[in-house]
Amino acid sequence: MAGKAVSTDSLEIAVKKKYAGRKFRVAFIGCGGISTTQMNIFAKMPDVEVVAGVDIVPARLKAFSEKWGVTRLYKDWKTMLKEVKPDGVSVCTPNGLHAAPVIDALKAGAHVICEKPMAMNPGECEKMIAAARKAGKKLAIGFQYRYHPNTQFLTRARDDGQFGEIMFMKCQALRRRGIPNWGVFGQKKLQGGGPMIDIGVHVIEMAHYFMGSPKPVAASGNTWTYMGNKPSKVVSMWPNWDYKTYTVEDLAIGQIRFDNGAILQIEASFVAHIEKDMWNFNFMGTKGGGQWDPPMIFTDRSNTMINSSPAFVGNQTSFESMFESKQRNWVDACTRNTPLEAPGEAGLAVQKMLDGIYRSAAAGKEVAIR
C-alpha cells in the first residue's frame, strides 16, 4: 500500500509540474449548440485556453471563431489533432459521432470530456474506455446533474445511512410538448433514440449515482411514436420540428433490475398528454425514502412519520453552474491528477441501461444486461 501511495504522489507531482506556469490547451470537436454552454465556462477559467475548433459546417466554425476568437479551425479532427496537439479535447458532436473522435483524441495523447450519452451502444463505450486506459489519459462523460445540489444533498444523506438499502427508484424526464426543432434529435441513426437517450439519460444517471451505482442485470421497456412523425398545429415552445425525418420515439418507459435486487423505473417523453413537464426522481429505502424536487426525506422519528426538507442545499442550481462543476472537475483531474467524478465507466453503466431498454422494446420482452 505504501508503494502505491508513493507512486500516486509521484504521478500527481509530475502532472502538476507538466502544467505549471501554462494553460491547459483545449480543442472542440463539434462547435454547435452545446459547445456554447461549455465555452461560456472555459472562457472564465484562467488556467484554460481554447485553441482550436472542428466542425463540418462552415457557418458554425465561423460563428465559433467570431464569438470566441479561436483562429485554428478545421473540418477534420484528425488533422487538428496532428497539427494542434491539444492537451484536452471536448467532444460535442451528435451521439453517433462520439466514439470515433474520442478514441482518436485519446490515441493522440489528449484528455477527453465527452457530452452525454457516452456513445450509441455499450460496445463503443468499452472501446473508448480501453483507449483511455492504454493512453493513460482522463476520459470524462458530461453528466452534470450528479453535481446538482439536490443530488449532492440526498447522496450525503444516503452516506449517513438515513435511507438504509434503496429498494425502488422512479425517474421522470417528461415533456408535455418539447420535440427539439434544431439539430438531429429526431434522427435515430445519429442519436440512437429519442427522449430516453437524450433527456432520460440525465435522470437515470443522477439516480444511479445516488443509489451507489449498483450493477444493472436486466431491462424491460416500451417505446411509442405517435406525434413526432406527423405535422402539428398545436402551439408549443418548439414548433415546426422536421417530422419528415423523425424516426425516434415520443415516449419511452423502462425498468432496470440491479444485482442487489433494487429496481429503477424511468419515464421519458418529448411529447405526452400530461399536466406539465416533470423532472424528478422518487425512491424508497428500508429506513427512509425521498424525492429530488423539491428535495425531501421521508422517514420515521420518535414514533412519528416525518417529512423533512432542507432549508438550503446550495445555489449552484443553474444549467451553467452544473456545467462549471463538471468542467472544473475534468480540468483539475487532468492538470492536478485529482479524482474524476464521472469517468467512462459511469458512462458505460448508463449506456448499458439505455441499450437494454431499447433492446427490450424491440424484442417485446425483458433482456439481460451483461
Nearest by Cα to 216 from 231, 234, 204: 204
**Whole-angstrom distance, CA of residue 315 vs CA of residue 309:** 16
Pairing verdict, β 278-285 and 166-174: antiparallel
DSSP 177: B
On the question of pLDDT at 1 being above 80, the answer is no
On the question of pLDDT at 4 being above 70, the answer is no
pLDDT of 7: 58
pLDDT of 343: 98
Mean of pLDDT values over 178-205: 97
Pairing verdict, β 48-54 and 24-29: parallel
pLDDT tens, 258-282?
999 999 999 999 999 999 999 999 9
Q: What percent of the chain has pLDDT over 70?
A: 97
pLDDT tens, 148-169?
999 999 999 999 999 999 999 9
Mean of pLDDT values over 45-62: 97
> Got the DSSP string for 183-242?
TTTT-HHHHSSSHIIIIIHHHHHHHHHHTT-PPEEEEEEEEE-SSTTS------SS----
Q: Does residue 43 or residue 1 have the better pLDDT?
A: 43
Q: How would residue 8 be classed by pLDDT, with cut points 50, 70 and 90?
A: low
Q: How would residue 3 be classed by pLDDT, with cut points 50, 70 and 90?
A: very low
Q: What is the pTM of this model?
A: 0.93
pLDDT of 301: 96
11: left (phi over 0), alpha (psi -120 to 50) or beta: alpha
Contact 47, 23 (CB under 8 A): yes
Domains annotated on the chain, with CATH:
2-144+324-342 (3.40.50.720), 146-316+350-368 (3.30.360.10)
On the question of pLDDT at 5 being above 90, the answer is no
pLDDT tens, 104-137?
999 999 999 999 999 999 999 999 999 999 999 9
Q: What is the average pLDDT value for the chain, to the nearest integer?
A: 95
Mean of pLDDT values over 22-50: 96
On the question of pLDDT at 55 being above 80, the answer is yes
pLDDT of 15: 82
Determine which of 9-18, 198-207, 323-332, 333-342 has the lowest per-residue pLDDT on average. Answer: 9-18
pLDDT tens, 303-338?
999 999 999 999 888 889 999 999 999 999 999 999
Nearest by Cα to 87 from 361, 333, 363: 333
Q: How would residue 100 be classed by pLDDT, with cut points 50, 70 and 90?
A: very high
List the Cα angle 94/341/168 in 5-degree steps. 85
pLDDT of 6: 46
